[in-house]
Amino acid sequence: MATRAAPRILAWAERRLPALTRLRPLEPLPATLHRRRIYIVPTGFGLGFATLLAVMLVGALNYANNAALMLTCLFGAATAGSMLVAFRVLNGLALGGLRSGTARVGERVRVSLELWASQRERTAVRLDIGGAEHVVTVPPGGSATVEFELEGEHRGWLPLPRTRVHTRWPLGLFRAWSWVHPDAAVLIYPLPEASGPAPFAPEGDADRGRPRAGDELAALRDYRPGDPRRQIAWKLSARHHGLLVKDMEQPAPKEDWRLDWDSVHGLDSESRIARLARWIDEARDDGRRWSLRLPDAFFDVAQGDEHYHRCMTALALRP
Protein backbone atom coordinates (compact mmCIF):
# COMPACT_ATOMS: atom_id res chain seq x y z
CA MET A 1 0.00 0.00 0.00
CA ALA A 2 2.42 2.59 -1.16
CA THR A 3 0.71 5.85 -0.51
CA ARG A 4 1.87 9.19 -1.71
CA ALA A 5 2.90 10.06 1.82
CA ALA A 6 5.42 7.23 2.00
CA PRO A 7 8.22 8.89 0.02
CA ARG A 8 7.78 12.07 2.04
CA ILE A 9 7.98 10.21 5.32
CA LEU A 10 10.99 8.37 4.03
CA ALA A 11 12.65 11.61 3.05
CA TRP A 12 11.92 12.98 6.49
CA ALA A 13 13.37 9.87 8.12
CA GLU A 14 16.44 10.27 6.00
CA ARG A 15 16.87 13.84 7.16
CA ARG A 16 16.28 12.99 10.78
CA LEU A 17 18.15 9.73 10.90
CA PRO A 18 20.96 9.99 8.41
CA ALA A 19 22.52 6.94 9.96
CA LEU A 20 19.67 4.91 8.59
CA THR A 21 20.34 5.72 5.01
CA ARG A 22 22.43 8.54 3.74
CA LEU A 23 25.66 8.00 5.57
CA ARG A 24 25.76 4.42 4.60
CA PRO A 25 29.29 4.45 3.24
CA LEU A 26 30.24 3.09 -0.09
CA GLU A 27 30.97 -0.54 0.27
CA PRO A 28 32.67 -2.95 -2.06
CA LEU A 29 30.66 -5.70 -3.65
CA PRO A 30 29.83 -8.33 -2.64
CA ALA A 31 27.93 -6.71 0.22
CA THR A 32 26.36 -8.96 2.80
CA LEU A 33 23.35 -7.72 4.73
CA HIS A 34 24.23 -7.96 8.38
CA ARG A 35 21.53 -7.94 11.04
CA ARG A 36 22.65 -4.57 12.31
CA ARG A 37 21.72 -2.84 9.12
CA ILE A 38 18.28 -4.35 8.61
CA TYR A 39 15.34 -2.24 9.69
CA ILE A 40 11.70 -3.19 9.97
CA VAL A 41 8.59 -1.03 9.95
CA PRO A 42 4.97 -1.97 9.49
CA THR A 43 3.47 -1.26 6.11
CA GLY A 44 0.28 0.70 5.71
CA PHE A 45 -1.63 -2.53 5.56
CA GLY A 46 0.21 -3.65 8.69
CA LEU A 47 -0.94 -0.54 10.56
CA GLY A 48 -4.51 -1.07 9.44
CA PHE A 49 -4.30 -4.67 10.44
CA ALA A 50 -2.93 -3.75 13.88
CA THR A 51 -5.88 -1.43 14.36
CA LEU A 52 -8.23 -4.23 13.46
CA LEU A 53 -6.49 -6.54 15.91
CA ALA A 54 -6.84 -3.92 18.63
CA VAL A 55 -10.55 -3.65 17.93
CA MET A 56 -10.86 -7.42 18.08
CA LEU A 57 -8.95 -7.48 21.35
CA VAL A 58 -11.07 -4.84 23.02
CA GLY A 59 -14.23 -6.48 21.76
CA ALA A 60 -13.20 -9.90 23.03
CA LEU A 61 -12.24 -8.45 26.42
CA ASN A 62 -15.40 -6.43 26.69
CA TYR A 63 -17.67 -9.36 26.07
CA ALA A 64 -15.45 -11.62 28.20
CA ASN A 65 -15.29 -13.92 25.21
CA ASN A 66 -12.21 -15.99 25.82
CA ALA A 67 -12.47 -17.98 22.64
CA ALA A 68 -12.44 -14.78 20.62
CA LEU A 69 -9.57 -13.49 22.71
CA MET A 70 -7.64 -16.65 21.96
CA LEU A 71 -8.25 -16.19 18.25
CA THR A 72 -7.09 -12.60 18.47
CA CYS A 73 -3.94 -13.64 20.33
CA LEU A 74 -3.22 -16.30 17.73
CA PHE A 75 -3.67 -13.86 14.88
CA GLY A 76 -1.54 -11.29 16.67
CA ALA A 77 1.23 -13.74 17.42
CA ALA A 78 1.29 -14.89 13.80
CA THR A 79 1.57 -11.24 12.81
CA ALA A 80 4.48 -10.68 15.17
CA GLY A 81 6.12 -13.83 13.88
CA SER A 82 5.86 -12.56 10.33
CA MET A 83 8.13 -9.70 11.34
CA LEU A 84 10.90 -12.15 12.15
CA VAL A 85 10.33 -14.03 8.94
CA ALA A 86 10.70 -10.77 7.02
CA PHE A 87 13.94 -10.15 8.87
CA ARG A 88 15.20 -13.61 8.04
CA VAL A 89 14.66 -13.01 4.37
CA LEU A 90 17.28 -10.27 4.35
CA ASN A 91 19.64 -11.44 7.08
CA GLY A 92 22.77 -12.84 5.46
CA LEU A 93 21.69 -12.03 1.95
CA ALA A 94 24.59 -11.01 -0.28
CA LEU A 95 24.69 -8.74 -3.31
CA GLY A 96 27.40 -8.82 -5.91
CA GLY A 97 28.32 -10.31 -9.23
CA LEU A 98 27.89 -7.07 -11.09
CA ARG A 99 27.77 -7.35 -14.87
CA SER A 100 27.01 -4.67 -17.33
CA GLY A 101 26.59 -4.31 -21.06
CA THR A 102 28.03 -1.48 -23.09
CA ALA A 103 26.25 1.72 -23.71
CA ARG A 104 27.03 5.17 -24.93
CA VAL A 105 26.04 8.39 -23.38
CA GLY A 106 22.29 8.85 -23.71
CA GLU A 107 21.61 5.16 -24.01
CA ARG A 108 20.41 2.90 -21.22
CA VAL A 109 22.96 0.47 -19.97
CA ARG A 110 21.82 -2.99 -18.95
CA VAL A 111 23.19 -4.03 -15.59
CA SER A 112 22.70 -7.24 -13.72
CA LEU A 113 23.35 -7.91 -10.07
CA GLU A 114 23.40 -11.25 -8.40
CA LEU A 115 21.86 -12.02 -5.03
CA TRP A 116 22.72 -15.12 -3.12
CA ALA A 117 22.40 -16.59 0.31
CA SER A 118 23.81 -19.67 1.85
CA GLN A 119 20.87 -21.54 3.27
CA ARG A 120 17.14 -21.13 3.11
CA GLU A 121 15.12 -19.68 0.32
CA ARG A 122 14.75 -15.91 0.32
CA THR A 123 11.30 -15.23 -1.01
CA ALA A 124 10.11 -12.05 -2.67
CA VAL A 125 13.24 -9.94 -2.22
CA ARG A 126 12.67 -6.55 -3.77
CA LEU A 127 15.32 -4.18 -5.07
CA ASP A 128 14.55 -0.53 -5.64
CA ILE A 129 17.10 0.48 -8.16
CA GLY A 130 17.11 2.78 -11.12
CA GLY A 131 13.64 4.05 -10.28
CA ALA A 132 11.99 0.66 -10.54
CA GLU A 133 11.25 -2.21 -8.23
CA HIS A 134 12.56 -5.64 -9.06
CA VAL A 135 11.38 -8.78 -7.35
CA VAL A 136 13.35 -11.99 -7.12
CA THR A 137 13.31 -15.14 -5.11
CA VAL A 138 16.71 -16.50 -4.20
CA PRO A 139 16.72 -20.30 -4.13
CA PRO A 140 18.38 -22.00 -1.15
CA GLY A 141 22.12 -22.14 -1.70
CA GLY A 142 21.76 -20.64 -5.13
CA SER A 143 21.61 -17.20 -6.58
CA ALA A 144 19.22 -15.01 -8.45
CA THR A 145 19.92 -12.31 -10.95
CA VAL A 146 18.33 -8.91 -11.06
CA GLU A 147 18.54 -7.09 -14.35
CA PHE A 148 17.90 -3.43 -14.67
CA GLU A 149 18.82 -0.47 -16.81
CA LEU A 150 20.55 2.74 -15.87
CA GLU A 151 20.59 5.97 -17.76
CA GLY A 152 24.07 6.71 -19.15
CA GLU A 153 24.38 10.45 -18.69
CA HIS A 154 28.09 11.08 -18.87
CA ARG A 155 30.94 9.20 -20.38
CA GLY A 156 33.15 7.42 -17.94
CA TRP A 157 32.28 5.57 -14.82
CA LEU A 158 28.62 5.55 -13.81
CA PRO A 159 28.44 4.63 -10.13
CA LEU A 160 25.65 2.27 -9.11
CA PRO A 161 22.96 4.21 -7.28
CA ARG A 162 22.08 3.71 -3.66
CA THR A 163 19.83 0.71 -3.61
CA ARG A 164 17.13 -0.34 -1.22
CA VAL A 165 16.83 -4.06 -0.68
CA HIS A 166 13.52 -4.82 0.98
CA THR A 167 10.83 -7.39 1.42
CA ARG A 168 7.26 -7.62 2.63
CA TRP A 169 7.30 -11.38 2.83
CA PRO A 170 5.40 -13.29 4.24
CA LEU A 171 2.18 -11.43 5.02
CA GLY A 172 2.74 -7.95 3.68
CA LEU A 173 2.38 -6.52 7.18
CA PHE A 174 5.99 -5.51 7.75
CA ARG A 175 8.65 -4.21 5.48
CA ALA A 176 12.22 -5.16 6.27
CA TRP A 177 14.77 -3.11 4.40
CA SER A 178 18.40 -2.30 4.16
CA TRP A 179 20.27 0.27 2.11
CA VAL A 180 23.22 -0.77 0.02
CA HIS A 181 25.51 1.79 -1.51
CA PRO A 182 27.71 -0.33 -3.71
CA ASP A 183 31.17 0.89 -4.54
CA ALA A 184 30.86 -0.23 -8.11
CA ALA A 185 30.36 1.46 -11.39
CA VAL A 186 29.61 0.66 -14.98
CA LEU A 187 31.40 2.24 -17.91
CA ILE A 188 29.61 4.53 -20.33
CA TYR A 189 31.30 4.99 -23.69
CA PRO A 190 31.45 8.41 -25.27
CA LEU A 191 28.83 9.32 -27.79
CA PRO A 192 30.35 9.45 -31.31
CA GLU A 193 29.63 12.58 -33.22
CA ALA A 194 26.83 12.27 -35.73
CA SER A 195 28.86 13.16 -38.80
CA GLY A 196 32.15 14.67 -39.76
CA PRO A 197 35.15 14.25 -41.97
CA ALA A 198 36.88 10.96 -42.59
CA PRO A 199 40.29 10.61 -40.93
CA PHE A 200 42.15 10.29 -44.20
CA ALA A 201 41.24 11.11 -47.72
CA PRO A 202 40.67 7.98 -49.80
CA GLU A 203 43.76 7.32 -51.90
CA GLY A 204 43.60 6.72 -55.65
CA ASP A 205 42.68 3.27 -56.89
CA ALA A 206 38.94 3.00 -57.24
CA ASP A 207 39.29 -0.73 -57.27
CA ARG A 208 40.26 -0.85 -53.65
CA GLY A 209 37.97 -2.97 -51.71
CA ARG A 210 36.59 -4.94 -54.68
CA PRO A 211 37.18 -8.63 -54.38
CA ARG A 212 39.86 -9.93 -56.64
CA ALA A 213 40.72 -13.40 -57.64
CA GLY A 214 43.19 -14.78 -55.19
CA ASP A 215 44.43 -17.96 -53.70
CA GLU A 216 41.97 -18.50 -50.97
CA LEU A 217 38.92 -20.63 -51.48
CA ALA A 218 35.88 -18.53 -50.73
CA ALA A 219 32.92 -20.56 -51.95
CA LEU A 220 31.63 -23.15 -54.35
CA ARG A 221 29.18 -22.17 -57.02
CA ASP A 222 27.55 -23.64 -60.10
CA TYR A 223 29.54 -23.68 -63.28
CA ARG A 224 28.96 -20.83 -65.59
CA PRO A 225 30.15 -21.03 -69.16
CA GLY A 226 33.50 -19.44 -69.54
CA ASP A 227 34.86 -20.41 -66.14
CA PRO A 228 38.47 -21.52 -66.31
CA ARG A 229 38.81 -25.28 -66.24
CA ARG A 230 41.33 -25.37 -63.50
CA GLN A 231 38.84 -23.85 -61.15
CA ILE A 232 36.35 -26.64 -61.50
CA ALA A 233 36.22 -28.78 -58.39
CA TRP A 234 36.29 -32.13 -60.10
CA LYS A 235 36.11 -34.34 -57.07
CA LEU A 236 33.20 -32.54 -55.49
CA SER A 237 31.40 -32.21 -58.80
CA ALA A 238 31.45 -35.97 -59.15
CA ARG A 239 29.00 -36.23 -56.29
CA HIS A 240 26.69 -33.61 -57.79
CA HIS A 241 24.53 -33.27 -60.84
CA GLY A 242 26.23 -30.20 -62.21
CA LEU A 243 29.74 -28.92 -62.17
CA LEU A 244 30.94 -26.92 -59.22
CA VAL A 245 33.42 -24.18 -59.57
CA LYS A 246 35.81 -23.04 -56.87
CA ASP A 247 35.44 -19.33 -56.41
CA MET A 248 38.79 -17.93 -55.49
CA GLU A 249 39.19 -14.46 -54.17
CA GLN A 250 41.47 -12.36 -52.14
CA PRO A 251 40.08 -9.75 -49.78
CA ALA A 252 41.08 -6.30 -50.69
CA PRO A 253 43.50 -5.12 -48.07
CA LYS A 254 42.13 -1.95 -46.58
CA GLU A 255 44.34 0.72 -45.43
CA ASP A 256 44.95 0.83 -41.70
CA TRP A 257 43.83 3.92 -39.91
CA ARG A 258 46.35 5.39 -37.61
CA LEU A 259 44.23 7.58 -35.42
CA ASP A 260 45.94 10.18 -33.34
CA TRP A 261 44.65 12.53 -30.70
CA ASP A 262 47.00 15.23 -31.89
CA SER A 263 45.98 14.94 -35.51
CA VAL A 264 42.56 16.33 -34.72
CA HIS A 265 43.08 20.01 -34.69
CA GLY A 266 41.02 22.90 -33.66
CA LEU A 267 38.54 21.08 -31.42
CA ASP A 268 37.97 20.94 -27.70
CA SER A 269 38.68 17.66 -26.04
CA GLU A 270 35.04 16.47 -25.86
CA SER A 271 34.64 16.98 -29.56
CA ARG A 272 37.92 15.24 -30.20
CA ILE A 273 36.74 12.30 -28.18
CA ALA A 274 33.45 12.23 -30.08
CA ARG A 275 35.23 12.34 -33.39
CA LEU A 276 37.76 9.66 -32.48
CA ALA A 277 34.90 7.53 -31.23
CA ARG A 278 33.11 7.90 -34.56
CA TRP A 279 36.25 6.95 -36.47
CA ILE A 280 36.77 3.91 -34.32
CA ASP A 281 33.17 2.89 -34.87
CA GLU A 282 33.56 3.38 -38.60
CA ALA A 283 36.82 1.48 -38.67
CA ARG A 284 35.24 -1.43 -36.89
CA ASP A 285 32.20 -1.40 -39.11
CA ASP A 286 34.36 -1.34 -42.24
CA GLY A 287 36.48 -4.20 -40.95
CA ARG A 288 39.58 -2.03 -40.97
CA ARG A 289 42.51 -2.24 -38.66
CA TRP A 290 43.29 0.81 -36.66
CA SER A 291 45.56 2.16 -34.03
CA LEU A 292 44.90 4.90 -31.55
CA ARG A 293 47.34 7.28 -30.04
CA LEU A 294 46.28 9.30 -27.06
CA PRO A 295 48.40 11.74 -25.09
CA ASP A 296 48.96 9.11 -22.43
CA ALA A 297 48.38 5.84 -24.22
CA PHE A 298 48.95 4.04 -27.46
CA PHE A 299 47.00 1.13 -28.86
CA ASP A 300 48.83 -0.47 -31.72
CA VAL A 301 47.25 -1.44 -34.95
CA ALA A 302 44.78 -4.25 -34.41
CA GLN A 303 41.14 -5.08 -34.91
CA GLY A 304 38.41 -7.02 -33.14
CA ASP A 305 36.14 -6.50 -30.19
CA GLU A 306 38.81 -6.52 -27.55
CA HIS A 307 40.78 -3.80 -29.29
CA TYR A 308 37.60 -1.82 -29.81
CA HIS A 309 36.65 -1.97 -26.11
CA ARG A 310 40.15 -1.07 -25.00
CA CYS A 311 40.15 1.99 -27.20
CA MET A 312 36.64 3.08 -26.25
CA THR A 313 37.43 2.59 -22.55
CA ALA A 314 40.47 4.79 -22.89
CA LEU A 315 38.37 7.44 -24.62
CA ALA A 316 35.59 7.15 -22.05
CA LEU A 317 38.04 7.67 -19.24
CA ARG A 318 39.78 10.67 -20.79
CA PRO A 319 39.74 13.36 -18.17
Which residues form the interface with other proteins (CB under 8 A)?
1, 35, 45, 48-49, 52, 55-78, 80-82, 84-85, 87-88, 91-92, 118-119, 123-124, 135-137, 168-173
Nearer to other proteins, 40 or 218 (CB): 40
CB of residue 2 to other proteins, shortest distance in Å: 9
CB 290 within 8 A of CB 256: yes
CB of residue 167 to other proteins, shortest distance in Å: 8
Using CA atoms, how far residue 185 sits from 82, 133, 263, in Å, is 36, 20, 32
What is the rounded distance in angstroms from the CA atom of residue 105 to the CA atom of residue 173?
A: 41
Provide the terminal-to-terminal Cα distance of the chain, rounded to the nearest Å.
46
Nearer to other proteins, 67 or 194 (CB): 67
Nearer to other proteins, 6 or 58 (CB): 58
Give 193's contacts (C-beta < 8 A, 6+ positions apart).
Answer: 271, 274, 275, 277, 278
Nearer to other proteins, 49 or 257 (CB): 49
CB of residue 67 to other proteins, shortest distance in Å: 4
Under the phi-then-psi rule, with left for phi > 0, alpha for psi from -120 to 50, and beta for the rest, what region is 193?
Answer: beta
CB of residue 143 to other proteins, shortest distance in Å: 14
Nearer to other proteins, 66 or 250 (CB): 66
- Between strands 257-260 and 290-294, the pairing is parallel
Under the phi-then-psi rule, with left for phi > 0, alpha for psi from -120 to 50, and beta for the rest, what region is 313?
Answer: alpha
CB of residue 55 to other proteins, shortest distance in Å: 8
